[in-house]
Amino acid sequence: MDRKIDAFFYTVGNPSAAIEEPATSVDIRMISLNHDDIRNMVADRPYYIMTKIPAGTYRGVDYDVETYAVTATVITNANIPEQVVYDMTKTVFDNLDELKASHAAFRNLKPEEMLQGLSAPFHPGAEKYYKEKGWLE
């Protein structure tokens, strides 16, 4: 056995140490998943989004990689008071730069994209904040 592989499929949040580490010792190539069948699957399932892994995320991958993804969704109990959820949501977005600096996985967060692909309905407190910001109608 030569301990080599030609290809693999890996579902992971980006950037991932599981990809970064091997990319430091071997050349890697990433292939976009943007075929019509993929886009149709995403269009039929609101919890998926089309996205890209930005060029430079991994050593040697100096091009954007189009793919699909699931998003992380913060959820709460519907019984939590509206003001509590509003304040929490406002705190996150008011401090988004600090959050982005705290971990590489948050580096590319963009508020206008963070409301896509959610797997839970909006809590009234979060919805109020998003409407104030003009992110929801």
- What is the per-residue pLDDT across 38-81, written as a single tens digit (0 to 9) for each? 999 999 998 898 999 999 999 999 999 999 988 888 899 999 99
Residue 1 scores a pLDDT above 60: no
pTM of the model: 0.71
Alpha-carbon Rg of the chain, whole angstroms? 18
Furthest C-alpha separation in the chain: 60
User: Looking up tokens 């040697």, which residue turns up?
Assistant: 60
Residue 3 scores a pLDDT above 70: no
Q: What fold, for 74-137?
A: D-Maltodextrin-Binding Protein; domain 2 (3.40.190)
Residue 91 scores a pLDDT above 90: yes
Q: How far apart are CA 50 and CA 69, in angstroms?
A: 6
CATH node for 1-70: 3.40.190.10
Q: Locate CATH 3.40.190.10 in the chain.
A: 1-70, 74-137
